[in-house]
Structure 1
Amino acid sequence: MAVNTNNLIQGPATLYTGAFGATEPVDSAVNTTPAASAWTDLGGTQDGVKFGGDQTYGELEVDQITLRVGSRLTKQDFTIETSLAEATLENLSLTLNGGTSASGSGWKSFEPNVTSSATQPNYFAIILDGYAPGQFRRRIIGRRMLNTDSVELAYTKDKQTLIPAKFAVHYVSNSVAPIHVVDQTN
């Protein structure tokens, strides 16, 4: 197979967040910024944005054949991972999956949600806007997300403070896929 250099991708992505169930941009608008009324730009990131998929398969085997005779999907995990470079209270709240915010003249505050583990978390949606082959745009929409990784704010003399985030995709319904990927083609 010959190499098609038009299929090589390099460049940054932009992340947006919206409420779970927010109106998604239509596929034909893949090259436009999502509506600010429903989607908020998370700002700068550092060390890129990664979309990952992990699939676990159980083996099917029989005594008479030494090879795996089949596999069945037993688990799927999809994530969007980055380090948020803008260490705002809004980004901290997002990575801690919500909480209580307040503001007044010259100040704003945030307190994380510390309710019972039986309480439903505040799911949200994420849009990852990056590049596709041909220098076109690719949009990945995670429809029901939570940050499932540890959060830390490191204040050091010689390094930038970042908020690490690993947003995990969650099941939506039998009729709604949890992820939608669309590429611009012209």
Structure 2
Amino acid sequence: MTSVLLQRAMTDPGYAELRSLPEEVEVLLRSLEAPPRLGAHLRVVHEVAWQLADWVDRHHRGTRFDRHSMLFGAATHDIGKIAHPDELSGPGSAHERTGYELLLAQGFDEESARFARTHGSWTGPDVGMEDLLVSLADKVWKAKRVPELERLVVQRLATADGQPSWQVFMALDDELDRIAVDADRRLAFQASYPVGVRPS
């Protein structure tokens, strides 16, 4: 039953024709028997990451980032919650290190696995633009705004393009407001899938 619900979570068009996760991620989630809610969550964050990547590509062409790597990171950032399912419905950060180690054990390289480790803390010296965008997607999908994180994104964008910070901030603020409009629909989509299978 879990596999049926997980498959549905990964293929349900949802509230707005959600994009599919990368095929390698879908295969990984099935092989690890991921909770259906995790599949749904990764899809909504991945969708928001696509929107942010498109926005950066359109408005900040001087900003260099690895789009493929960032989207993979969004699609796998919470994979450690397979081992910590309580963190799917409550707070906790144990999944971050666990997810990183799980991805390495599954044969993914450090560059791909790092997002599981970095998405919850964005001030480390090795945090790149890709990491910041994954972290931002993981917050704004549910309309959560984190000023410290947004300031770091603004600084990177302004520096890369030579634009005034205030101008970048205002444009980013508008985009995050636009994305946040669908937060209730994303939350409802995620909540429609169980953390586990309830006994019948």
Tell me if TM exceeds 0.5.
no
- Please tell me the TM-score bracket, short chain as reference: under 0.3
TM-score (norm: length of structure 2): 0.24
Give the strand-richer structure, 1 or 2. Answer: 1
Give the helix-richer structure, 1 or 2. Answer: 2
TM-score (norm: length of structure 1): 0.25
